[in-house]
Structure 1
């Protein structure tokens, strides 16, 4: 099994757990945060180490002001999979942010939300486990339970 690149967007507690645990599951992790003061590996997709056509991009904070810009940049690249954490009962803030930037609805639809398996995750480690399990299911061609109870 070759390593798949996992780009965790925004330095956050969930990104910290993904950075620690994902390598055990065959992921090479880079944490991207446009704010250089947050201690991330990179500040933008131009700095990603490697090709993105087999990369999984996971947005770990849907409240950041830079959400639309970062997702627009990811969608402009040939990224395999993009997902944003969030509650499935509400439209994600990424939709309005991307529309405000003129991103086409077909591209917005490429963004998965919610991400991970529906295990009732609340704490950062639980969210990371859920996310990694969903990515493993996808990598292995399994449905993995991405359908969430609403």
Structure 2
């Protein structure tokens, strides 16, 4: 009997994937790599920059990654995302500093339960320093979460 995972790795079995969407918010270098690598992972990828218009359609198959936590419109963008049943939403940022999104959402009257849906930090802790590394760590974290795994080595 062949291990199904080995068969997939050797190209001997069809990979069945569910529909999923990755929305990168703000046009940043990390967003570019998220979209590039996300497409390779089977995501339908979408860049959303608020200056360019309304949010795309968001549903329970959507993962939203905010790639810049220094933007004035951070709170409004997250508030607008949180009214949708997205599967996952997170904001990039250094975990040693408080997330500015929390206060921004509070000031907009967003309920604490909704604020708690926003993940920060995001991605696996692999010491990422460059935009491609940050994108890989973020996508690995999304895959681990989607597959109900803790991430990291076992």
Question: What secondary structure is seen at the aligned counterpart in 2 of 1:35?
Answer: helix
Is the counterpart of residue 30 in structure 1 residue 46 in structure 2? yes
Aligned to 1:55, which of 53, 62, 68? 62
What residue number does 2:135 align with?
128
Unaligned runs of 5+ in 1: 37-42, 146-150
Aligned to 1:18, which of 34, 52, 70? 34
What residue number does 1:9 align with?
25
User: 1: CA distance between counterparts of 2:147 and 2:41?
Assistant: 12
Q: What is the CA distance between 1:13 and its match in structure 2?
A: 0.3
Q: What is the CA distance between 1:2 and its match in structure 2?
A: 2.1
Cα RMSD (Å): 1.1
Q: What per-residue deviation string (whole Å, max 9, x for no partner) do you get for residues 19-56 of structure 1?
A: 111111111110001112xxxxxx322xx14x411110
Is the counterpart of residue 84 in structure 1 residue 94 in structure 2? no
Unaligned runs of 5+ in 2: 1-16
Larger of the two Rg values belongs to structure:
2
Q: What per-residue deviation string (whole Å, max 9, x for no partner) do you get for residues 88-127 of structure 1?
A: 1121000111011011111101100010000111211111
What residue number does 1:140 align with?
147
**Would the aligned equivalents of 2:19 and 2:61 in 1 still touch at CA under 8 Å?**
no
What residue number does 1:93 align with?
100
Structure 1 residue ranges (4+ consecutive) displaced by more than 2 angstroms after TM superposition: none
Query: How many residues are paired up?
Result: 136
